[in-house]
Amino acid sequence: MRIRVVFGGSERRLDVEEGEPLALALRGAGIPLRMECGGTGACRTCSVRIGGASILYQGAVLRIPEGDTWSVCSCQTAVAEEGGTVEVPATSLSE
């Protein structure tokens, strides 16, 4: 599946596997994402904003309507279908 990722003033199209946590997909694409708790969702350092997408979160498929943006822990969230935009804020990028 293809999603749009915006981070650090740039934009990229990224292929992700269904059910793959966003944090792993972002890191696998070379985006320097913070994840201080190692992916347990405890620290929220990997928080991203996602909009216009269907996501898998805690076993449920949730639809984020066009025009809405939700803040989610990328280590606990996966993309359920193609489309949508993920914005990685500067606070979630490692140096």
- Asked if 27 contacts 88 with a C-beta cutoff of 8 angstroms, the reply is no
The residues, ordered by sequence, that sit 6+ positions from 36 with a Cβ below 8 Å of its Cβ are: 43, 45
Domain 2-92 annotated CATH 3.40.50.150: no
Tens digits of residue pLDDT in 50-61: 999 999 988 899
* This prediction's pTM: 0.90
Query: How would you classify the pairing of strands 85-88 and 60-63?
Result: unpaired
Question: What pLDDT sits at residue 21?
Answer: 94
